[in-house]
Amino acid sequence: MEITQKYLDELTYKIIGCAIEVHKHLGPGLLESVYEKCFLYELGLKGPHYQSQQRIPISYENIEMEAELRYDVLVENQIVVELKSIEGILPVHEAVLLTYMKMLQKPKGIIINFYCTNIFKEGQKTMVNEYYAALPKE
């Protein structure tokens, strides 16, 4: 299957739908780890393949460094998902996601913040980069 912008956009919709389902059942105010377990369960029900809490390789001056840098969830080996349960998404959270996307060479990322009233309106931020721009639209 060829990866396209349309495919990633449809997958994004499915990922955010899983987050909305979790938020609908649990509401705001719990620990991020609780949301992560429930979010992974929802992803499992909806079918996209995912990995969670995997190390991000760090290459510095052509040397692989050992570091405990991990992403929260990687969906279909294309979309990096960072889960939060905080008062608001800050520029530093966006910078971290963009850096993870660059290090992993992934085209799209989503920050999902469960500490909100409405996931769709205020609890998520989707980001793309040059890898996404280089993909065919359909």
What tens digit of pLDDT does each residue of 52-79 get? Answer: 999 998 988 999 998 889 999 999 999 9
pTM comes to 0.95
The bridge status of strand 63-65 relative to strand 58-60 is antiparallel
The answer for residues whose C-beta is within 8 angstroms of residue 43's C-beta and 6 or more apart is 15, 18, 50, 73, 75
- CA–CA gap between residue 95 and residue 75 (Å, rounded): 20
> Would 70 be classed as within a structural domain?
yes
- % of the chain with per-residue pLDDT over 70: 100
Q: At 50, give phi and psi (nearest 5°).
A: -145, 160
**CATH of residue 21:** 3.40.1350
Q: pLDDT at position 37, please?
A: 98
10 Å CB burial of residue 126 (0-12, 13-18, 19+) is middle
pLDDT of residue 1: 72
Strands 73-75 and 63-65, bridge-based pairing: unpaired
**Quick check: 97 and 82 in contact, CB under 8 A?**
yes
- Residue 35 domain flag: yes
Q: How many domains does the chain have?
A: 1
Residue 81 pLDDT level (bands cut at 50, 70, 90):
very high
pLDDT at 47: 85
Domain assignment present for residue 20? The answer is yes
Task: Find the domain containing 64 and state its range.
Answer: 5-133
**Angle formed by the axes of helices 32-46 and 5-26, nearest 10°:** 130
Q: How confident is the model at residue 26 (pLDDT cuts 50, 70, 90)?
A: very high
Q: What is the maximum alpha-carbon separation in the chain?
A: 46
**Among the ranges given (58-62, 101-105, 112-116), the one the predictor scored with the smallest mean pLDDT:** 58-62
Residue 16: CA count within 13 A, CB half-sphere = 18
In the chain, the amino acid numbered 99 is T
Q: Is 138 inside a domain boundary?
A: no
